[in-house]
Structure 1
Amino acid sequence: MTQPKRIGPSIPAASRRARGVGACAVLALALLAGGGSGCAARPATPAEAGGDLRYAAVLVAGDASLPVFDNAAESVAKRLVAGGAVAPDRLRRLSASPAAVTRTGGRPASLPNVLDAVAALRPGPGGGCFVFATSHGEEGRGLFLAATGQVLGPTALDRALAEGCGEAPTVVVVSACFSGGFAAPPM
C-alpha cells in the first residue's frame, strides 16, 4: 500500500477537499500549527497583506462529557483570530455544552445547527472556508453530536460544504475516532 501524498508537514492529500485547495492554500492549518505551512514561502495572511479577512469558519465541539472538545474548539478559535485568518464575526461556534454555548455566544451542536452553519459560510471572492469538528466518532457513521444523539456524516457535511463554500478553498478537520470516512468520497 502506498503512502498518501503529503501537502504540508503532516496533512495527507486525501484529507483535503478537491475544490481549489493547494499545498500553500492551507493557511488556516498553518496558523493552527504555529506558523510554518511546509511551503517554501508562507503566504501573507489577509491582515498582513492589509486586506480584508477572507476566511469563514465553523467550529464544532460535539460532546460535553469531557472538556477536551470545547478546549480544542477554543484553542482553534483563538489561533484563527489571532493569526488574522478569520474575523471574529466570521467564526461560528457550536457546542454540546450549554455553558460553552452561553460563554461563546454559539449555538447548540445539533445536526441541523451544524449543517446550517456550514451551509451559511459563504466566503466572499478570494475567500475560503474552514471547518473544525471534534467529538466521539461512530464507526461507519461519522461524528457523534451528544446533545441530540445525532451523527454528522460525510455525505451530509459534503452537501453543506458544497452549498456554503462552492468552489472556494476549503479545509475540513474532523477529530474523532473512526473519522477516516471523512477523507474518502464524497468528501
Structure 2
Amino acid sequence: MIRRVVVTLIASLSLAACATTSGGAATGGEPSSGAFDGWAASIVAADWTTSRGTPIQAFDNARRDLVAGFQEVGFARADMVDFALRPDVPNPTSADQALNAIGRNAEQATRGCFLYFTSHGSPRGIVFGPNRLLSPDEMARRVDDWCGTRPTVVIVSACFSGVFTDRLAAPNRMIMSAARRDRSSFGCSEDATYPYFDGCILESLPTAPNFLVLADQAAQCVQRREREEGLSPASEPQTLVGVDIAPLLSTIYAFRR
C-alpha cells in the first residue's frame, strides 16, 4: 500500500517525530547518530544552464551544499557519491558514468537508499547531462535495480518533477518532487544561488528532525518565496510516502542533532 501525503498535512504525521527525537535518540532502540549508517546516498546536479542555455552555478551550488548538509544530519561521506554532469569542465562526468557509479555505491552500502537529483525538467522527465533525458520509466527501473525493497528516499528537484512520484511509488519509498506534474519550479536564473526548492531543503535541514518534517518545511518555504515574489502558478511540491517507510522515518530514521 502507498499513502499519498499532501504537503500541508505532513506536519501532522511528524508531531510524534518531534517529540521522540528531542533527546537526540530515535525510538526503536537505535541512536539517531547512526540512523543512516550503511545508506547509499547519491546527489546529482544533472544540468548546468538556464532555460536559454546560459551556463549557471545554481545546480552545482546545490549539489555542493546538499552533500555537506546531508552529512551534517547523519549520512556518511564514505557511502555518498555526487556528480555534476556539466560538459564545460576538464574531464567531465557522463550520464552513464554517474549512473554506473550510483549502482556501484548501492551495491556497497545496502541498508538504505537516498537519491537526490536537481536539474531542468519537462513532462517527459529530467535533463540528465548534455544529450540525455531521464524518464520516469527509466528512473523507476534504475531505482528498482539499485534499491530493491530497502528503505528508500528519492528527491527530484525540477520543473514538472511530479511526473516521477506515482511512477516511483512503493511501500518502502518516500518520493519528493519540487513541483506538480503540470507545474514549473523556480530559481534557475543566472543570478540564482540555488533553485528555490533546493534552497528551501537547505534552509530546512538544520531544524527538521526527519524527512517527513523536511518535506513539509521545504514546501512551506517554497510557497512563501513564490508568494513574496509574485510567482505563479505555484509549483506545489509533492510528497508520496509508502506505508512501510512512514513509521520508520518518524522514529528509526531520525536526523542527527
TM over 0.5: yes
Indicate if the aligned counterparts of 1:123 and 1:168 stay in contact, CA closer than 8 A.
no
Of 85, 105, 115, which aligns to 1:96?
85
C-alpha distance in structure 1 between counterparts of 2:10 and 2:156, whole Å: 15
Indicate if the aligned counterparts of 1:58 and 1:130 stay in contact, CA closer than 8 A.
yes
- The correspondence of residues 33-112 of structure 1 with structure 2, limited to 5 A, is 38-42=17-21, 43=26, 44-45=31-32, 48-49=33-34, 53-65=37-49, 66-85=56-75, 87-97=76-86, 108-110=93-95, 112=96
In structure 1, the residue matched to 2:140 is 158
Look up the equivalent residue of 2:114 and give its one-letter code: F
Distance 1:81 1:174, change over 3 A: same
CA RMSD of aligned residues (A): 3.4
Distance 1:94 1:41, change over 3 A: same
Greater CA radius of gyration, 1 or 2? 2
Indicate if the aligned counterparts of 2:45 and 2:85 stay in contact, CA closer than 8 A.
yes
For 1:50-100, what per-residue CA distance to the aligned partner results, in whole angstroms no more than 9, with x for missing partners? x88221111110112221111111121101212222x21211112123577
Look up the equivalent residue of 1:167 and give its one-letter code: T
C-alpha distance in structure 1 between counterparts of 2:143 and 2:113, whole Å: 9
Higher helix share: 2
Q: TM-score, normalised by structure 1?
A: 0.66
4+ runs deviating over 6 angstroms: 99-102
Name stretches of at least 5 consecutive residues in structure 2 with no aligned partner.
Answer: 50-55, 170-257
Indicate if the aligned counterparts of 1:95 and 1:109 stay in contact, CA closer than 8 A.
no
> What SS does structure 2 have at the residue aligned with 1:143?
strand
In structure 2, the residue matched to 1:19 is none
Indicate if the aligned counterparts of 1:123 and 1:129 stay in contact, CA closer than 8 A.
no
1:160 is displaced (CA, Å) by 1.4
C-alpha distance in structure 2 between counterparts of 1:73 and 1:54, whole Å: 21
Of 103, 114, 129, which aligns to 1:119?
103
1:148 is displaced (CA, Å) by 2.6
1:166 is displaced (CA, Å) by 1.2
Distance 1:119 1:52, change over 3 A: closer
Query: Percent sequence identity over matched residues?
Result: 28
